[in-house]
Structure 1
């Protein structure tokens, strides 16, 4: 009702208005980080779309059915690369293990629910992913084992992105993403 367009929503929100897990805003330090981050998210995304196929919302159910094949492909792709890098050269194994160590602390937030999540779960619109948390870590752990990589032991997991509290990296992402729209206001693409 406020005449906002898709571009306004995508390009003109403030940082705190974005609600995403911290994992996806971590930088592309090197190829190992790209693959590990992608794999951690891909496993979750495929599980989420699989569970979303039971949604009470017909549109979300249809999107989940349509997207599951693509999500499965991405999980296979990033998983295959993770195996190659982990069981590859000493250099690739060292780099990818460092990425696992650094990014592991962001995985628990995938299962953290906000008030909005809880309301959607209660209404049957969104799946309760907390029920799949153990399976997620089992699946990720199996592939890390095949890739001869170790699961890091951590006492504290980072979270806050789903509530608008982001890492410093989000500012850089938004600066790049919003540059054109802020430099040339009201441009149409």
Structure 2
């Protein structure tokens, strides 16, 4: 594969990650434990949707097949999505949501730090803008993991259970595939091994502050979101997210 094809694949991954994580957060609308947290979750979700549009617009431009960001978001099926398995998992309770958010934020933050120095100027520009928002996202989610983990017996129990529930999906955060290795060699992204090490260090530090045990690194299993092999949860999420656009494909505002 040439570098442009690899870049398209990687842009789809970034766009799909932000879109699906944003969609999950927006599911909390009307259900959050406090009005302040509802506003916070919605703001983070909308930030991610905006970032997704930027990544998908660039992917659509490179693909040059008549599709735009909206078409990529609303007219692909689950096997065509390239998001991490972690972000498609159900919200669960507030502890599960914040555990997922923190694990994703930590990885995404370090990815964006590297992409901000990309040899591709458009990638670097999108990443630099997104990094400002994700820096806040990470601070917020990390504080919640610490607050719940080192809080009451009940909040600690729930956060520990949340980490156990979602940890196996972190394997994709610490392993790279051939696409990422080739893009690293081309100077488009930073070293995936360094990103994985930075992710593990940050997570271990927050978990220590939260009095949570750091699990052993997750191991591979048969699913792989980067190859379109998803859990059953993505299909139901897309069915809801894509319903209007698929039911009325020619509708305009």
User: What is the TM-score with the length of structure 2 in the denominator?
Assistant: 0.70
Determine the structure 1 residue equivalent to 2:229.
165
Residue 122 of structure 1: how far off its partner (Å): 2.3
Structure 2: runs of 5 or more not aligned: 1-63
**Per-residue CA shift, 1:154-189, capped at 9, x if unaligned?**
663445001111011101111111111121122224
1:132 corresponds in structure 2 to 195
Conservation of the 8 A alpha-carbon contact between 2:74 and 2:241: yes
Aligned to 1:45: 108
**Which residue of 154, 159, 165 maps to 1:102?**
165
Any idea what SS the aligned residue of 1:142 has? helix
Unaligned runs of 5+ in 1: none
Does structure 1 residue 14 correspond to structure 2 residue 77? yes
1:32 to 95, 105, 112: 95
Q: Which residue of 1 aligns with 2:176?
A: 113
Q: Taking structure 1 as the reference length, what is the TM-score of the superposition?
A: 0.92
Task: Mark the CA change 1:62 to 1:3 in structure 2 (over 3 Å): closer, same or farther.
Answer: closer
**Aligned-pair CA distance for 1:4:** 2.1
Aligned counterparts of 2:216 and 2:188: Cα–Cα separation in 1: 34
Q: Give RMSD over aligned pairs.
A: 1.7
Verify the 8 A CA contact 1:15 1:171 in the aligned structure 2. yes
RCO greater where, 1 or 2, for CA within 8 Å and sep 6 or more?
1
Q: 1:75 aligns with which of 130, 133, 138?
A: 138
Q: 1:170 to 1:97 in 2, by over 3 A?
A: same
- Looking at structure 2, the residues matched to 116 and 155 of structure 1 have their Cα atoms a distance apart, in angstroms, of 21
- Which residue number in structure 2 is paired with residue 142 of structure 1? 205
Residues in 1 aligned to 2:208 and 2:184: alpha-carbon distance in whole angstroms: 33
Residue in structure 2 matched with residue 181 of structure 1 by the alignment: 245
**Alignment partners' CA distance in 2, 1:11 and 1:25:** 16
